[in-house]
Structure 1
Amino acid sequence: MHVPDGFIDAPVSVAAGAVAVGAVAVSLRGARKELDERTAPLAGLVAAFIFAVQMLNFPVAAGTSGHLLGGALAAILVGPFTGVLCVSVVLLMQGILFADGGLTALGVNITVMGVVTVVVAYAIFRGLLKVLPGTRRSVTVAAFAGALVSVPASAAAFTALYAVGGTTDVPLGKVLTAMVGVHVLIGIGEAAITAATVGAVLAVRPDLVHGAAGLTTPLKLRVGGELVDAPAAAPAATPAATRAARPGTALWATGLATALVLAGIVSFYASTSPDGLEKVAADQGIDAKVKEDEEKPEGERAYEHASAGSPLADYTVKDVDDERLSGGLAGTIGVGATVAVGTGVFWAVRRRRDDARAEQPVSPGQPAA
């Protein structure tokens, strides 16, 4: 659902940009409480994984495809504030390096694909956990439901922005029906991917799943090949507890390898059909202004993407003629760049938290943090 330049007018795009900047600022502050030495590397991996899976468009209806948005997955794995940052990093990398999603529409995309999906998914997820049994299965079920609803909610949010800032005159009822209808189907795929991924992480390192914290039923950790109860408080400095407290090196390496395979190899077999927004835009005439603009000579196009000349534009590597190799290299570069930028951002946020704690005065008789 990457909104390109030209679908939403400048004033609304600016307003959405202001909302996105505010959301990112709040998230940077909130993420300080969510990130530590274990979860900061995981957050960078989550951003890279979302980037990789977004390259895997899956068919949802005749001539239409969909892809992961990722807000629900990120919020449940690393927390809602960090989740907004994860999706924002992905959208920024896609816009700058791959000309995917308009740069003037970056605020729209962060608001619609990042903020809305995270807020809706995490609210539903937390609400369900209050009434479901405190088990890992409940976490997976709640993750499925939150992800399922977050996608049509995102589509409705785009429709709301289009209602006040659309550049073409299309009946709003038709846009809303078409957008929500197709994105309900895409939401099923989003929910399945989110539940499967959350369930997989829960199976090996439940202590790293933000949404699983505080379950009434004790979680298990795999230590030395055996499942043991996760500690409710700070573990003693035993060899087993020390291994359990590590930031999940094996999980991180496995996740990164999976993301590289998905983006570098599996993406070649993704559906080539237009995604939900592209299909609705073509069918309903939302993209009429953009199509008119494309008929103008180069240099006179108002909606030409600022990164159209990028050597990685359209997820291909410039001057590499082999289609499979070009797309695979672009995907691999994208995963590497996203994990590097994301991890750098999250480590910086985490260090900011540590610095703030170090500056706090220590009361007499209270140990230093």
Structure 2
Amino acid sequence: VGATIAATVLLTALAGLVVTRARRDLRRDLSRPLQDLETVVQDMAAGRLEVRAGDAGTREVRAVAAALNELADAQARARAVEAHIHDELRELDTAREDFVSNVSHELRTPLTTISGYLEMVAEEFEDAMGPRHQRMLEATTRNVARLRLLIDDLLTLSRAEARSTSLEQGDVRLLLRDVLTDVAITAAGRDLRVEVEEPEDPLWVLMDRAMLARAFLNVIGNAVKFSRPGSVVTVAASAHEAMVRVTVSDSGIGIPADEVDQLGGRFFRASNAVDNEIAGTGLGLRIVQTIVDKHGGDVRITSEEGRGTTVVVRLPERSARQGIGTPGPTLAQ
């Protein structure tokens, strides 16, 4: 009996020793390495990509650590490539902006000279010019004006795409009133009536005033340009679901259904506009989309050929509680 008890005690002691050693080995070879791996993963998730996992632990744990390190190295290489591509794109954007600016300057000078001479010819030979030469002079003058408008639009688009935009709080209603003043003479000359619908309360948004005014001028100007004499252009501003909406509707020539998806492409002009010989560069809507994108908004267009077009510009609303006139964020390209 005593021998049995002694054997039992001995076996119990040996079992306890084995369990203690196994627990210690488990902590050394599995638990601590896994905790270290967890810490490394948390560091990487927090953006500290320079950390790497150690090679302690069991073979399986070391394999996981090696795979994690390979992933971190691949991410580091990808970030380096991304940074290099970003730098190259920035250099290309700068080169493009410089090119457009230089070409615009070089073309404006001779166009100004040509335009001046055309005016002199028109004045000097006003009563002595035959119908044929009169048509030639008018065509030349018209195309010089078209080239000048194209150069201005190219330069505006290049600046809108490349520049950073510092936004300040402003009332969309006041901006629209200034734009409507600018198009009033053109609308009156075409016997158009422009109706405005706006709320009594301000419509606050963060804006680059000059750029956003150009966007609205393009949209409303297009509505006036493509409308039929004697019709109505409606400009409505409102706030809905934290967005300020500016809706411009006309009952003009509209856009063919199979061409609506192409709107906003560089130099795209609807076929019916070309057929009707309505002047334009095909860059106006692209400029609008670029500017509105810079303001965190979007542009939606619906149109039916022969019935008219509706353009909706949506911009994030800025509550009056956020402060009036306070500087806004800067949106880079």
> How high is the TM-score relative to the length of structure 1?
0.21
Tell which structure's C-alpha radius of gyration is larger.
Answer: 2
> Where is the strand percentage greater, Structure 1 or Structure 2?
2
> Where is the helix percentage greater, Structure 1 or Structure 2?
1
* Structure showing greater relative contact order (alpha-carbon pairs closer than 8 Å, 6 or more residues apart): 1
